Structure 1
Amino acid sequence: MKSIRVFIAPTVILALAVISLFVGVSDVSLRSLWAEGLEGRSMQLLLASRLPRTFALVLAGAGMAVAGLLMQMLVRNRFVEPSTVGTMESASFGMLMVVLFVPDMPVIGRMLVAAFFALLGTALFLRLLQAIPLRSILMVPLVGILLSGVIGAVTTFFAYRYNLLQSLSAWTTGDFSIVLRGRYELLWLSGAMVILAYIAADRFTVAGLGKDFATNLGVNHGVIITLGLVIVSLVSASVLVSVGMIPFLGLVVPNIVSLMVGDNARRSLPLVALMGAGLVLACDIVGRIIIAPYEIPIGATMGVLGSACFLYLLLRSRARVA
């Protein structure tokens, strides 16, 4: 039975990826690919748009889900993820500063600046947690949401002041319709960060048990925390620059996986990555089908699903505490 479960998630991901390749306004099917050949319109569309989009969905979904898992382990709270602690909002602010002061900067440079601002925003969140007495586990996401609101308000003010609200909207709304060959490759960095997180999974598990416990086991708690923040910042920035913000993904998936396999990062991280990719693929497919030939941005579909799951987790936690 266990060996069967191991193959379920990859099989589902593969099935969703294949469906994603053949769903869209333009007709791309096995019949058209066979009839038109390698130089046909269907093959060109598949290689230039559908295949890059599917890769982007998998990489972004896996990366953001793993980033959420790392945030929850490092903060030791189940109700945080990059879009609820100011990480994504800080990255958006960094992108805005680049557009204002260095508009000709290459995409890789914009991503690095956004990652730097994301790291600063996340560090500020951790500093606030140290300064505020936390009498309830619900205080942590509340502080994060308030910080996100403040950073978002400042970003919106500058965007309005310099007529960049449309650009800001593109960064804060996840949308994979813009993905083409040559415009998504930064997301492979997100995949590399997932691999790095898996390599250091045991250390993240120990660091999540607290500074004193980690130190007694010979783990440098500060270094692991810094590594985790760097991974989260790079993943968040690469996803934001490439496709925009995907809310609540890093919150929902790690909590579901935790209920299934527990809190050991070595065991749960691969499943988190797979489930994150599968959820993003499913939401994107639904967004393309439900009002075809138009499509709903994944930021909207994931926001509705994620916010509902967030409320359920909050109410469930409150009931358990009571």
Structure 2
Amino acid sequence: MKLRYLVSLLIILSFVSLFVGVSNVSPLDIFQLTEDQKEILFISRFPRLMSILIAGMSMSIVGLIMQQLSRNKFVSPTTAGTMDSARLGVLVALLLFPAAGMLEKMAIAFIFALLGTFIFMKILDKIKFKDAIFIPLVGLMFGNIVGSLTTFFAYKYDLIQSIGSWLHGDFSMIIKGRYELLYISIPAVILAYLFANRFTIAGMGEDFATNLGLNYKHVVNIGLIIVALVSAVVLLTVGTLPFLGLIIPNIVSIYQGDHLKNSLQHTAVLGAVFVLVCDIFGRIIIFPYEVSIGLTVGVIGSGIFLYLLLRRRAHGL
């Protein structure tokens, strides 16, 4: 699939997204907008579009990085305990620093996400039977243990409802002033592109990378920091987007190969396109009501994941 076709589709869907919603704003009104229509576009629709693009691109890229470093196509922030650890960090922030702002909560969630990801990678190093399906199952078990701890303490301190808001992705509450934290993901994505070749070499194994003169642990640590930072930012701003970081890199690798630098642009654009499609679908399926992005991404993503799983087994991979 040509990158320019994906970019063209992204531009078309972005334009459509600006004019889909309960409030009546038509493309024909673009040059004669009323004050109410301007507020709808610039306070609600445009911030929502920007958050969709950034979240879709960044979560797809960190999924690709995790798959490269773990050498497993079914590892992602949602199957390695990263998102669950970030939620635990949010709970700790709510308990210990109830007056903390979003930036402080993000910092604590980032620390917990990083620790959780490091623990998963350490577990991965200890596992000898590294089957393609077994590894993400271990990650899911680890994530469920962390999630159980989060639920226990949230229930104990009557914070279930507060934590529940971070369990499901939702763009409906995104307005101007409530999404700008996502811009922190952009430098992380740029850093991922700069280190893409190093991540590709690191994905070949520690011995191979060391023989080529690469500081393996340094590169892996940078990759995990990028994954944890983006996961924490997206979780706090949008919520969980299940399967996104898992399915998009797999789809891109089918037609683009496994070289990370060659796949990054395709992964970013396809991730944004996928989230846009799910968001538009969620807004129109029961119009004028809306289905949360976490549900639409989860349902569509689970179907694609099942197909990828069956395809991998059919090819004996």
Fold similarity call, TM over 0.5: yes
Partner of 2:268: 273
1:6 aligns with 2:21: no
The runs of 5 or more residues in structure 2 that have no matched partner are none
Whether the aligned pair in 1 keeps the contact of 2:282 and 2:292 (CA below 8 Å) is yes
Tell whether 2:29 aligns with 1:32: yes
- Residues 240-279 of structure 1: matches in 2 within 5 Å? 240-279=235-274
Percent of aligned pairs with the same amino acid:
49
Q: How many pairs align?
A: 317
Structure 1 position 20 matched with structure 2 position 17: yes
Instruction: Indicate how the Cα distance of structure 1 residues 36 and 18 shifts in structure 2: closer, same or farther if over 3 A, else same.
Output: closer
Q: Deviations over 1:235-279 (max 9, x none)?
A: 000000101010100000000000011011111001000000110
Unpaired runs of 5+ residues, structure 1, are none
Correspondence for 1:225: 220
Alignment match, 1:284: 279
Q: Shift of the alpha carbon at 1:313?
A: 2.2
Note if contact 1:10-1:274 (Cα within 8 Å) is conserved in structure 2: yes
Q: Secondary structure at the match of 2:113?
A: helix
Superposed displacement of residue 298, structure 1 = 0.5
> Which letter does structure 2 place at the counterpart of 1:67?
V
- 1:139-168 CA deviation, whole Å, 9 max, x = no partner? 101101111111111111111111111111
User: Normalising to structure 1: TM-score of the pair?
Assistant: 0.96
* CA distance in 2: counterparts of 1:155 and 1:312, whole angstroms: 32
TM-superposed deviation, 1:135: 4.8
Structure 2 residue matching 1:230: 3-state secondary structure:
helix
Structure 2 residue aligned with 1:61, among 56, 60, 66?
A: 56
Q: RMSD value over aligned CA atoms?
A: 1.3
Distance (whole Å) between structure 2 residues aligned to residue 136 and residue 319 of structure 1 = 16
- In structure 2, what residue type is equivalent to 1:249? L
Whole-angstrom CA distance in 1 between matches of 2:263 and 2:208: 21
- Pick which of 309-318 and 190-199 moved more: 309-318
TM-superposed CA distance for 1:315, in Å, is 2.4
For 2:300, the equivalent position in structure 1 comes to 305
Distance in 2 between the 1:20 and 1:68 partners? Answer: 25
Cα pair 2:3 2:266 within 8 Å, conserved: no
How far apart are the structure 1 equivalents of 2:139 and 2:9? Answer: 33
Q: Shift of the alpha carbon at 1:222?
A: 0.5
One-letter identity of the residue aligned with 1:161 = K
Instruction: Give the conservation status (yes or no) of the 8 Å contact 1:33–1:42.
Output: no
Q: 2:5 corresponds to which letter in structure 1?
A: I
